[in-house]
Structure 1
Amino acid sequence: MMQIFDDVPAGLQAAPHDPRIIAAGYQVMVREVSFGAVDNKDSLMLAFLSGLALTEAFGNNWDALYDMLTDPEQWSGKFALLLCDYRSFRSRHPRLSAELERVLLDAQAEATRQERRLWLLIEEADSDPDGW
């Protein structure tokens, strides 16, 4: 059975069942960003700050997010961003999510150019059978 981590990352993709377990088998580092409480750009940047365990020095803007995601010193090799409750966020904030997706997809393309891998995986809470 083919797994998502067998392929080069391609845009935003649905997360597989048990993404953290599968990623561990492929030696892919996973960081989770929750969009449940995001309602503006500031709370979006805080979600990334928290999910990626960034320092307070993080610039809280699109350029800083792009720079952090494309920095080989931060993330070497294979890295997956698990975007939790993203579809709901996207429907609530179409303009903000469109801006974010531009940054994420540009970062993914740059990571590929650097011969690194950045998967952008969408995970929905209601798809989890345990209800977490």
Structure 2
Amino acid sequence: MINVFSAPPQGIQTAPHDPRIVAAGYQVSVREIDLSNVRDKEGLMLAVLRGLALTESFGRNWDALYDVLTDPQSRPTRFAVVLCDYEHFRKRNKNLGAELEAVLLDAQRDAARQGRSLWLLAEEPASDPRAW
């Protein structure tokens, strides 16, 4: 299996096991956004604020999210966002998930135009071994 960080970012990709450890070897900074308890846009923006370690001045809207992800002053040149519990989030929040994905993919394309890399990684919770 090819390491996700050995190639340019391409859409929302499956996160490797232990993404922080893998990313460190490729000099990629990683932040995680926990989507497991998100039920609405307000909750999503709060999860983004926490996950990206933003200040309270974060505008909590789509434009503000795009700006944060594409601002070379606030993000490293090689940056990954791990979307924790992404598939479940998408199933629970179809419209909100589609809006989030559009903003993330636009930011990824803009970062690439700037010569920067923005990986978008979907991570699912570990399956419960008792379910086996």
Indicate whether the TM-score tops 0.5: yes
Give 2:10's aligned residue.
10
Is 1:95 the counterpart of 2:114? The answer is no
Percent identity of paired positions between Structure 1 and Structure 2: 62
SS in 2 for 1:30: strand
Q: Which residue of 2 aligns with 1:113?
A: 113
Q: Which residue of 1 aligns with 2:53?
A: 53
Q: Distance in 2 between matches of 1:68 and 1:42?
A: 17
User: RMSD of the alignment, in Å?
Assistant: 1.3
Partner SS, residue 56 of structure 2: coil
How far has the Cα of 1:17 moved from its partner?
Answer: 1.2
Q: State how far apart, in whole Å, the 2-side matches of 1:73 and 1:91 are.
A: 34
| Number of residue pairs the alignment of both structures matches | 129
* Matching residue's letter, 1:27: Q
Deviations 1:32-69 (A, max 9, x none): 00001100000000000000110000000000000000
Aligned to 1:126: 126
* Partner secondary structure for residue 44 of structure 2: helix
C-alpha spacing 1:46/1:8, structure 2 compared with 1 (3 Å): same
Shift of 1:76: 2.4
Tell me what 2:72 maps to: 72
Runs of at least 4 residues of structure 1 off by over 3 A? none
* Alignment map for 1:23-34 (pairs within 5 Å): 23-34=23-34
- Do 2:86 and 2:122's aligned partners in 1 also have CA atoms closer than 8 Å? yes
In 2: Cα distance, 1:12 partner to 1:127 partner: 21
1:2 to partner: Cα distance: 2.6
Consecutive unaligned residues of structure 1, counting only runs of 5 or more, are none
Which amino acid is 2:6 matched to? D
Partner secondary structure for residue 126 of structure 1 = coil
